[in-house]
Amino acid sequence: MTLEEARRRINELRDLIRYHNYRYYVLDAPEISDAEYDRLLRELKELEERFPELKSPDSPTEQVGAKPLEATFRPIRHPSRMYSLDNAFTLEEVRAFEERIERALGRKGPFVYTVEHKVDGLSVNLYYEEGVLVWGATRGDGETGEEVTQNLLTIPTIPRRLKGVPERLEVRGEVYMPIEAFLRLNEELEEKGEKIFKNPRNAAAGSLRQKDPRITARRGLRATFYALGLGLEESGLKTQLDLLRWLREKGFPVEHGFARAEGAEGVERIYQGWLKERRSLPFEADGVVVKLDELSLWRELGYTARAPRFAIAYKFPAEEKETRLLEVVFQVGRTGRVTPVGILEPVFIEGSEVSRVTLHNESYIEELDVRIGDWVLVHKAGGVIPEVQRVLKEKRTGEERPIRWPETCPECGHRLVKEGKVHRCPNPLCPAKRFEAIRHYASRKAMDIGGLGEKLIEKLLEKGLVKDVADLYRLKEEDLVGLERMGKKSAGNLLRQIEESRSRGLERLLYALGLPGVGEVLARNLAAHFGTMDRLLEATLEELLQVEEVGELTARGIYETLQDPAFRDLVRRLKEAGVEMEAKERGEEALKGLTFVITGELSRPREEVKALLRRLGAKVTDSVSRKTSYLVVGEAPGSKLEKARALGVPTLTEEELYRLIEERTGKRQETFAS
Ligand code: AMP
Ligand code: ZN
């Protein structure tokens, strides 16, 4: 490559990267995947290294993020600069990182590192004066960020006041959206025909940068902290590990999990272990962050224009494949909503074959501008869910066809209706709706009837044994035995689960019945507001509008369903079958789905804490495994802590645990003390 060619390519890359920075950091709407972005940045870096005369301080390789849009939030200058991190993708590159350190310090390794999960969210800076939170801001371009104090304060774990800290203190960490909250948010947006978020990071960024903090408050954001700006010197801390412990002691949530390692090889062992476990983490992690443990070495090494020299992000592989969209089929859900599903020429991504991908809704298709026959770039979001990254428009031949929405229901032939961007089958007898209604009713977050699988539901509908969910409660052993190779024992199990489902309470029942627009959040609000099904059935439109988060359209939809004689009849039959129609104490299910392990001594008897956790729906076990959601760490913890660190299981102090409970139940934990 000649100098002239290099100059041209470098300019092209810089423009391209600046554009994508803007899409990613300012608009929260990236067009390309992180992996593609990393490739561009890397190519630019390599070219600038080969042709140092072309280096420039305004190159994206020398800069952090992008300048915020000043229109929305007040710009704020960080008292001390915020940096990004350089990336490594292979063990070789981690070794090269260690060698650079050796050369710079004039001393042989291996060095000791702290390894932390790289939580994929957005970084924030909290500024405290004399222990009082003054403001909080996003990173922005590292010098200037956006003030988002009000929105940050909706995250209950962020401390407002601190004791025994330097007079001026900056605390840095990541605001993120747990995967569960992310999936739930997208489901709600999908149902409303709105634009969905591409990944938890964008969802977190979009939610934190809302004009209305009340919207932020609903999104279930969390925060975890890992660094200091101003105040680091005064703190007198010696290592990163101490720093993390110090943060925790001062009341900051440190939820992201960390471990210690020696040398590049030690880092590699932890990285490989965490890579395997990444799917069981409650948040999305895009790699690990490796930091020299010894803080005195940080001062010696310093920073480049963009990133520290004493730390590196060791990224997880993000496989993406090109394939073709062969056709689009349409599925009808329990609410009658029609969802487009893309059929792909099968490709192997991160260990499994991908041949179908959801195209969510009409807004999504418009935004993506995807057509049948297009080449698309597909990846697995969070390493799990196949997702189209983008359309490779440069590969279009002109043969591609636009996606056409059907006029009639693919399952029952009834004419579809269109409400805004949502296509729906209005036929109450549509078999797809029946099937989905039962499946949804039995699902884990609804009535939790685990033994009722899809095949079985199909069979039950086919044989006419059930027509709707109330019929489930009339099933007898002889109906079930023989269906789907079912024996006496599994039939008995299923019947017991159906029995148990009667006592889930109003909140779960309302979610299970799939009232239009009612997800988990609205179900909870409705149950809390009305208390009983009878009260809800009598609700007027005005009363429905009083319920938290119920808007005009949703209220109307719910009201119409409540007045529908078919719905009332279904409720009557469920009641006759003994299904509970009263709201439970709100705390009862607050920790459902989480598994806790406790180590060390707590401020009250361990059995009491265990009982509390169980009462809130959590599981408590005795040993740490990759299924553990959190390890609760008391005084003088045992070997469980080591194990948790090795597996990357997040830990909580006792106080953090109580805050988590408070956040989930909306009550101070003292109210739960027995
Ligand atoms: P990048 O997003 O490529 O600039 O990567 C650097 C960013 O990773 C930092 O600015 C942080 O926002 C984020 N990050 C996530 N987890 C950690 C962690 N444990 N330590 C340091 N940075 C982290
Ligand atoms: Zn239909």
pLDDT tens digits along 109-158: 899 999 999 999 999 999 999 999 999 999 999 999 999 999 999 898 89
The answer to whether residue 334 scores a pLDDT higher than 90 is no
Average pLDDT on 570-578 reads: 96
Pocket of ligand 1 (CB under 6 A): 84-85, 116, 118-119, 123, 174, 226, 256, 289, 313
- Tell the CATH superfamily of the 3-62 domain: Helix hairpin bin (1.10.287.610)
Is residue 210 within 8 Å of residue 153, measured between CB atoms? no
* pLDDT score of 646: 84
Q: What is the pLDDT of residue 587?
A: 63
- For residue 6, the tally of other CB atoms under 10 A from its CB is 16
Q: What is the mean pLDDT of residues 52-81?
A: 86
Instruction: Classify residue 88 as exposed, middle or buried by CB count within 10 Å of its CB (0-12, 13-18, 19+).
Output: buried
Say yes or no to pLDDT of 589 above 80. Answer: no
Which CATH superfamily, name and number, covers 595-672?
Answer: BRCT domain (3.40.50.10190)
Check residue 100 and give its pLDDT: 97
Q: Does residue 674 carry a pLDDT above 50?
A: no
pLDDT digits (tens, 9 = 90+) for 261-279: 999 999 999 999 999 888 7
Pocket test for ligand 1, best of 117, 119, 258 (most atoms within 8 A of CB): 119
If you measure from the C-alpha of residue 407 to the centroid of ligand 2, how many angstroms do you get, rounded to a whole number?
11
pLDDT at residue 44, rounded to an integer: 96
Predicted confidence at residue 590, as pLDDT, reads 77
Check residue 268 and give its pLDDT: 97
Taking 70 as the threshold, does the pLDDT of residue 69 lie above it? Answer: no
What per-residue confidence (pLDDT) applies to 71?
A: 66
- Residue 500 has a CB neighbour count (10 Å cut-off) of 12
Q: Residue ranges per domain, the chain?
A: 3-62, 75-315, 321-424, 431-576, 595-672
Average pLDDT of the chain to the nearest whole number: 91
**Residue 23: its H or E element:** none
The pLDDT of residue 313 is above 90: yes
CA of 611 from ligand 1 middle (Å) equals 37
For residue 258, which atom of ligand 1 is closest to its CA?
19
Instruction: List, for residues 22-63, the tens digit of each pLDDT value.
Output: 888 888 788 888 888 999 999 999 999 999 999 998 899 988
Give mean pLDDT, residues 279-285. Answer: 86
CA 194 – CA 363 distance, rounded (Å): 6
- The CATH number of 431-576 is 1.10.150.20
Fold entry, domain 75-315 = D-amino Acid Aminotransferase; Chain A, domain 1 (3.30.470)
With vertex at residue 564, the alpha carbon angle to CA 558 and CA 568, rounded to the nearest 5 degrees, is 95
* Burial readout 206-240 (b: 16 or more C-beta within 10 A, e: otherwise): bbbbbeebeebbbbbbbbbbbbbbbbbeebebebb
User: pLDDT by residue (tens digit) across 201-230?
Assistant: 999 999 999 888 888 888 889 999 999 999
What is the second-level CATH architecture of the domain 321-424? Beta Barrel (2.40)
Distance 433 CA to ligand 2 centre (A): 7
* pTM, full prediction: 0.73
Looking at residue 671, its pLDDT comes to: 42
User: What integer pLDDT is reported at residue 177 of this predicted model?
Assistant: 94
72-99 average pLDDT score: 95
pLDDT, one tens digit per residue, over 480-536 is: 998 888 889 999 999 999 999 999 999 999 999 988 888 888 898 899 899 999 999
Q: What positions carry a catalytic annotation?
A: 118
